[in-house]
Copies of this chain bind each other. A is one copy, B any other.
Amino acid sequence: VLGRKEISSAVIKRLPRYYRYLDELQSEGVERISSGDLSRKMNVTASQIRQDLNNFGGFGQQGYGYNVKNLFVEIGKILGVDRTHPMIVIGGGNMGRALSNYSNFRKRGFDIIGIFDVDPSIIGKEVNGIKVQHLKDVDNFVKLHQVEIAALAVPKTVAVEIAEHLASLGIRAFWNFAHIDLELGDDVVVENVHLSESLMQLSYRMLQNEESK
């Protein structure tokens, strides 16, 4: 994909949202859309949309709009969701089960193939058709299956140790729900979902909103 290296992280953060809207437009049977119409739908400026999408070689034609399907496919390639990413979930508690039950992930190529825990009351139970295994069996599992991503839905007290172990087994991408920073080296990517921090931002914005009245 042309010019990928220069794309700012702000643009990258917006891409999944474009992807979602284009997916909806496709399912509504829309074939082309102008930046103006997309802008009203997404509640961002048309110039922002043009700027963002120009990063990927200008899928739009002046006065003619964007080809919804092409743009959807191209953004999917950029995001890497045009391929399958085998994933394991560590932690079979509520959060691990919530993640394992999201049908939307599989639709996007994120294919949960294993769930692991250490709690005997959870091991052996089925979640979305997958039997929860003991964490001690993860080594063998990773040897037998190609695993790209590990989702960590475990307490922060054990997250670092588990992540380091999984990285030593060759897993190079971590989706981390534990409220702690993981430092696993430059060849490993970590995406954090820190729920407490998200809540604090909400409360900050509540305060701001009250004060601006």
Binding site for B on A (CB under 8 A): 4, 12-13, 15-17, 19-20, 42-43, 78-81, 85, 93-95, 97-99, 101-102, 104-105, 108-110, 148-149, 172-173, 175, 179, 181, 183, 187, 189, 191, 193-209, 211, 213
Q: Which residue of B is nearest A181, CB measured? A: B43
Q: Which residue of B is nearest A108, CB measured? A: B196
Given A85-B203, A94-B101, A98-B93: A183 touches B43 (CB 8 Å cut-off): yes
The listed residue (B175, B179, B204, B209) touching A202 by CB distance below 8 A is B175
Chain B nearest CB, measured from A108 CB (Å): 6
Given contacts A15-B204, A20-B179, 8 further A-B contacts (CB under 8 A): A80-B206, A94-B94, A95-B98, A102-B195, A108-B199, A175-B198, A191-B205, A193-B193
Given A16-B194, A16-B201: A206 touches B148 (CB 8 Å cut-off): yes
